Amino acid sequence: MNEATPIKGDQPDEIDFMELDNIIEMDFNNDPENLIMILQAIQGRYNYLPRPALRYIAEKIDVPLSQIYGVGTFYSTFSLEPRGRNIVSVCLGTACHVRGGERVRERIEESLNLTDGETTDDMRFTFESVRCIGCCSLGPVVKINEDIHGRIGAAEIAETLEKYE
Amino acid sequence: MKIRSIKDLEKTGIEHRKKLYYPDVIKVNIGMASCGIAAGAKASFEKAVTEFHGDNGIQISQTGCLGFCEEEPLVEILGTGKPRVIYRNITEQKIADAIRGYMGRNFNKKWILGQMRDPLCLLENHIDNPVEGVAKLDGIPFLEDIPFYNKQKKIALRNCGYIDPDSVEEYIARLGYFAFLKALNEMTPGEIIEIIKKSGLRGRGGGGFSTGYKWETCAKHEGERYIICNADEGDPGAYMDRSILEGDPHNILEGMLIGALAIGSSRGFIYVRNEYPLAVKRLITAIKEAEKYGLLGDNIAGTNFSFHVKISTGAGAFVCGESTALMASLEGQVGRPRAKYVHTVEKGFRGSPSNLNNVETYANVPAILLKGPEWYAGMGTEQSKGTKVFSLVGKIRNTGLVEVPMGISLREIVFDIGNGIPKKKKFKAVQTGGPSGGCIPEQFLDLRVDFDELTKVGSIMGSGGMIVMDQDTCMVDVARYFLDFLKEESCGQCNPCREGIKRMLEILTDICDGNGKEGDIELLEELSVMIQDFSLCGLGTSAPNPVLTTIRYFRDEYESHIRDKKCPAGVCKALFHYEIDAEACNGCRLCALKCPEEAITGEKKKLHILNQDECIKCGICYEACKFDAIVIR
């Protein structure tokens, strides 16, 4: 978390500013205290935090862009770069770790040729590690989008990933 | 309908207690907390709904988690005059048969976990005992008589798995909001605080600070006071707060309401981890439901007391579990802790007096008010009263959430409730307290678990994660794992934590990679003292604990990594290799088929050969072999 990632150039995404207004005003009341939740809503919509949207929020809720950048890089769920169609999260909580979570992670990294936080060139997968999603009884756990794959063995990774286009 | 008095509550309670315990239909309650859903409960639920669509004699409902996660999905089926049966592992394939079997009085006994005689811990002495009239099923144990449950005492988890979390009525049916209305109508803030102090309740989030005393101090400071609930459950391996929020959200709201009365607050905040979307959803529903009944909002129950609750979500930062960081995050800022020479009860959120308690702490409050502080203080040890929820996970047969009286021994938790280690492996340690805690070895299995005893052996209670480790767990790797976690999660503003943890991690990584040197252990100890003494917040001051306890109790493992260049547990890849035991291998071909690198060759029924140059030590063959023929050397 303490290693900042630089903001890349403007992404070519079309930003619907009316929609942003709806999120910022209607849902979150233009309130700077809601910044984290505003960013979550925007990431929910665009899959990442597009730079023009951040600039727009800064003006709208009157918070310096630097502070928004700070929040966007401090918290691990935010991404300033576009992410893949499928988010593969391997749980690295302690319970999963002692049950072989590390091996599962290695298999995913090898299968997708990615390291933590990276996205495949075809935008099919983004690989992330997460710290405990609270399904410890099912460890090791891999979450793909909203699906939780419990008691997964390193041997089943390739087959499981195949199911996601 | 707005609730205006205890009488109104009683009326709603009686009406819904009937639906809860003596339904006119066959009621199927499916445990739908995140853990249950992940195990397949949602598929079972949908299957049941489609299968019995249009059948007015059957009602399919959701409940929270009964705690026995290993056996999920758990399904309860009940009907008036019929037994209340808990079925285990009821997947989509089994659900229809389970329901039909129950209706035809052919109970599929192999699928039954136990029958329910509701513990009713809060209802006893208050109202008619709803157990009467429930038929008993011969030869099937009651839930509280099976080993997983019989040492448990459920207070914080009292409603989880017993009610529909989205139904305020069912919460009221189990005496929900009675404690709050009693406090609102009959008690002064000072009296409430006195009760909580007398109960001996200590913060369940980790620190173990006296809740009553915290409330008292906060109430003394002038300004708009805030009640905050810390639901940023970050310790990996701990998920009791999630389970309470998902299974009994009104309990938390009621606890906060009582806290608000005590300190004089009209605004509450719940800071929930981003990883718990279902908890957020259930809380939002709970708030709306409570508002509908006039139990939240303006002029509650016709008095001039008003209380509003807002839910804020985190965004993935472990350090935000620390009180000052959490409050910064609530303000929409980067979640960095600050020095606490001024406490948050004086100047916290928005610079105002703020009272922060953990989810499980609030979950105990209504029960204490209902049953009295003496009842609560009657459980536990001298300095740690009541019960504590532990998440028993890792290398253990009965994974799940267990709520036990303080003072129970680790041995009872691991071997009686947890039923020991699977696959005939040997117990090695229990890790408690998350990244701030430590590893407790076999010699302390008879330790009485409470705040102080755990501290004495170098660990902490923390939020109650209990990760069991066996012979296949490398303790050096565990220490490295926690430091890797903390390196990622350190906010980076103070030097000892930011740089110190990194240096310690480098040393540990070297040891795990086979590059350890003489003197590394001593250097780790020296760095630990420095980080403990000079870090700004609890994350840093407790960060060395996993390293120190593993050095203290498993120094020989460190030494074999450093001197013999061996990892006895077979985890650190540079320090072991797999071999095929010629005597045990019977040539079943399973390992060769599963090996992703085709490093294993051999004909059927003949000894297989593992090519060391091709082997990537992924462990797939080791896990797959049923004859223990793959060995670690």
Is B543:B437 a contact under the CB 8 Å cutoff? no
Q: Please tell me whether the peptide bond between B73 and the residue prior to it is cis, using omega within 30 degrees of 0.
A: yes
3-state percent helix, strand, coil for chain B, nearest multiple of 5 = 45, 15, 40
On whether both B104 and B187 belong to a single domain, the answer is: no
Between CA B341 and CA B348 the distance in angstroms is 12
Assigned domain for B408 exists: yes
Between CA A155 and CA B597 the distance in angstroms is 11
CATH number at residue B514: 1.20.1440.230
Assigned domain for B82 exists: yes
Assigned domain for B8 exists: no
On whether both B466 and B479 belong to a single domain, the answer is: no
Q: Which residues pair with residue B466 across a beta bridge? A: B392, B432
Is A39:A53 a contact under the CB 8 Å cutoff? no
Contact B481 A97 (CB under 8 A): yes
Assigned domain for B549 exists: yes
Amino acid at B209: F
CA distance B531 to chain A (A): 17
Distances (CA, A) of A14 to A18, A42, A52: 12, 13, 9
Which value, to the nearest 10 degrees, does the dihedral of the CA atoms of residues B297, B300, B306, B307 take?
-50
CATH number at residue B609: 3.30.70.20
- The pLDDT, as a whole number, for residue A135 is 86
On whether both B607 and B502 belong to a single domain, the answer is: no
Q: How far is CA B397 from the centre of its chain?
A: 17
Q: Which two tokens stand for residue B239?
A: 């998920």
Assigned domain for B138 exists: yes
Contact A74 B596 (CB under 8 A): no
Whether chain B has a CB inside 8 Å of the CB on A45: the answer is no
Whether chain B has a CB inside 8 Å of the CB on A107: the answer is yes
Could you say which residues of chain B have pLDDT below 50?
Answer: 121, 125-128
Chain A residues with CB inside 8 Å of B312's CB? 34, 36-37
A and B: number of Cβ contacts within 8 A: 162
On whether both B49 and B122 belong to a single domain, the answer is: yes
Is A31:A41 a contact under the CB 8 Å cutoff? no
- The pLDDT, as a whole number, for residue B120 is 54
Assigned domain for B286 exists: yes
Residue of B233, B331, B619 with shortest CB distance to A154 = B619
Between CA B470 and CA B395 the distance in angstroms is 6
Phi then psi dihedrals of residue A61, to 5 deg: -105, 5
Q: Which two tokens stand for residue A73?
A: 């890089």
Phi then psi dihedrals of residue B86, to 5 deg: -105, 120
Task: State the Rg of chain A over Cα.
Answer: 17
Is B203:B213 a contact under the CB 8 Å cutoff? no
What's B569's DSSP letter? T
Domain boundary among B443, B470, B497: B470
Q: Best interface-test mutation with B: which of A90, A130, A135 has the largest number of B CBs within 10 A?
A: A135
Q: Which two tokens stand for residue B184?
A: 């609102």
On whether both B361 and B284 belong to a single domain, the answer is: yes
> Strand B112-115 to strand B225-231: parallel, antiparallel, or no bridges (unpaired)?
unpaired
Contact A155 B434 (CB under 8 A): no
Whether chain A has a CB inside 8 Å of the CB on B453: the answer is no
Is B232:B238 a contact under the CB 8 Å cutoff? no
Residue of A33, A100, A148 with shortest CB distance to B38 = A148
- The pLDDT, as a whole number, for residue B122 is 52
Whether chain B has a CB inside 8 Å of the CB on A58: the answer is no
CATH number at residue B117: 3.40.30.10
Q: Is the pLDDT of residue A17 over 90?
A: no
On whether both B207 and B332 belong to a single domain, the answer is: yes
Chain A residues with CB inside 8 Å of B620's CB? 103, 153-155
On whether both B453 and B601 belong to a single domain, the answer is: no
Chain B residues 17-76 with a CB less than 8 Å from chain A: 34-35, 37-39, 69-70, 72
- The pLDDT, as a whole number, for residue A133 is 85
Degrees to nearest 5, angle at CA B103 with B101 and B107? 40
Longest dimension (CA), chain A: 51
Is B178:B123 a contact under the CB 8 Å cutoff? no
Residue B476: closest CA among B577, B556, B395, B392: B556
Assigned domain for B163 exists: no
Chain B residues with CB inside 8 Å of A132's CB? 234-239, 275
Q: What percent of chain A is modeled with pLDDT above 70?
A: 92
CATH number at residue B417: 3.10.20.600
- The pLDDT, as a whole number, for residue B521 is 97
Q: Given the structure tokens 């890349």, which residue do they identify?
A: A8
Number of structural domains in chain B:
5
Contact B314 A71 (CB under 8 A): no
On whether both B358 and B392 belong to a single domain, the answer is: no
ipTM: 0.90
Contact B623 A34 (CB under 8 A): no
Write out the DSSP string of B469-521: EETT--HHHHHHHHHHHHHHH--S-SHHHHHHHHHHHHHHHHHHTT---TTHH
Write out the DSSP string of A28-72: TTT-GGGHHHHHHHHHHHHSS--HHHHHHHHHHHT--HHHHHHHH
Q: Best interface-test mutation with A: which of B66, B245, B275 has the largest number of A CBs within 10 A?
A: B275
Which residues of A are annotated as part of the binding site for [2Fe-2S] cluster? 91, 96, 132, 136
CA distance B395 to chain A (A): 7
Residue B117: closest CA among B148, B76, B62: B76
Is B544:B482 a contact under the CB 8 Å cutoff? no
Amino acid at B296: L
Between CA A80 and CA A54 the distance in angstroms is 10
Domain boundary among B375, B397, B414: B375
On whether both B46 and B121 belong to a single domain, the answer is: yes
Q: Which residues pair with residue A86 across a beta bridge? A: A125
Domains of chain A: 17-74 (no CATH), 86-162 (3.40.30.10)
Assigned domain for B166 exists: no
Contact A2 B485 (CB under 8 A): no
Residue of B275, B276, B618 with shortest CB distance to A107 = B618
Between CA A117 and CA B94 the distance in angstroms is 39
On whether both B463 and B516 belong to a single domain, the answer is: no
- List of residues 6+ apart from B356 with CB closer than 8 A: B228, B229, B230, B323, B326, B327, B344, B348
Confidence of residue A1 (pLDDT cuts 50, 70, 90): very low
Confidence of residue A154 (pLDDT cuts 50, 70, 90): confident
CB-based burial of residue B592 (10 Å sphere; 0-12 exposed, 13-18 middle, 19+ buried)? buried
Structural domain of B140: 17-148
Residue B392: closest CA among B404, B407, B383: B404
- The pLDDT, as a whole number, for residue A7 is 46
On whether both B127 and B40 belong to a single domain, the answer is: yes
SS3 state at A162: helix
SS3 state at A40: helix
- The pLDDT, as a whole number, for residue B14 is 86
- The pLDDT, as a whole number, for residue B618 is 84
Q: Given the structure tokens 């040729």, which residue do they identify?
A: A113
**Cβ–Cβ contacts within 10 Å for residue A83, how many?**
19
CA distance B22 to chain A (A): 32
CATH number at residue B272: 3.40.50.11540
CA distance A32 to chain B (A): 6
Residue B387: its H or E element: strand B387-394
Amino acid at B332: G
Distances (CA, A) of B550 to B154, B480, B516: 33, 10, 16
On whether both B257 and B200 belong to a single domain, the answer is: yes
Contact B623 A99 (CB under 8 A): no
SS (H, E, C) B25-40: CEEEEEECCHHHHHCC
Chain B residues with CB inside 8 Å of A41's CB? none
Residue B391: its H or E element: strand B387-394
Chain A residues with CB inside 8 Å of B243's CB? 134
Domain boundary among B505, B527, B562: B562
